[in-house]
Structure 1
């Protein structure tokens, strides 16, 4: 099975992985869980996690990652964490503004500032043109000031 297939299969989609009343936006939590379930270590003291948000979540070890930007920054600095053949692409605008760069490609996508200062991180299947954790992929594709993409072979 390819790295992408494993990551896609390990992503929970729209299911909540932590307390939805406290954390309504869980894209980073879902992506972090998928990455960790795929065997990609995300050990970092600087990551905001549910377990350091409140003692209520102290049993959520190591804790779910709360920030899409912080998660994306890890792979921006070192894309090879995702695998030796990972290709990083940074594009201004939205996915739809750069559709040819995403069509038929598979990997992890980060949409920067698509909802004001809020971001989105997800797995991307360029064959079906959809994200697994997005509530409406077509709307998400039109958002963002910049898109970071890590193509997985």
Structure 2
């Protein structure tokens, strides 16, 4: 189980971890990469990955980079202890800014649902600086719902 700092340090920020020409939105890929590098064993069954998209082209990426933020968030919601023994998922209506008291001075993983029409975002969140590692400050005002896994 990773600490928040380990997860933050292992997150590639906005660096592409897979083929950017094919996969423009890589937040789930980046988050999955950070989790894997932090020692989290993500159950991959049923998750859309780059390998599933094109097995021949991405065979060296096996088991594959996760392509959907919602799918990764669902796994973490169902199994929050992947992030730590006492970690739970808090689901809130609105954006991070709408729920700023929950986020202020708390670190963890955040999922922003439907912030860009039907597209979502998953990232690590630093509650001291109110910063997302892989997203812009404007992301804090997006979404119809946010899920938060507070970590130590």
For residues 1-153 of structure 1, what are the structure 2 equivalents within 5 Å?
Answer: 3-54=3-54, 55-134=56-135, 136-137=136-137, 139-153=138-152
Query: Contact (CA 8 Å) 1:52, 1:58: kept in 2 or not?
Result: no
Query: Contact (CA 8 Å) 1:10, 1:37: kept in 2 or not?
Result: yes
Query: Contact (CA 8 Å) 1:49, 1:64: kept in 2 or not?
Result: yes
SS in structure 1 at match of 2:71: helix
Q: Which runs of 4+ in 1 moved over 2 A?
A: none
Unaligned runs of 5+ in 2: none
- Root-mean-square deviation (CA, aligned residues, Å) is 0.9
TM-score for the superposition, normalised by structure 1: 0.95
1:56 offset after TM fit, Å? 1.1
Unaligned runs of 5+ in 1: none
Residues 97-133 of structure 1 deviation map (CA, whole Å, 9 limit, x = unaligned): 1111100000000000000110000000000000000
SS in structure 2 at match of 1:56: coil
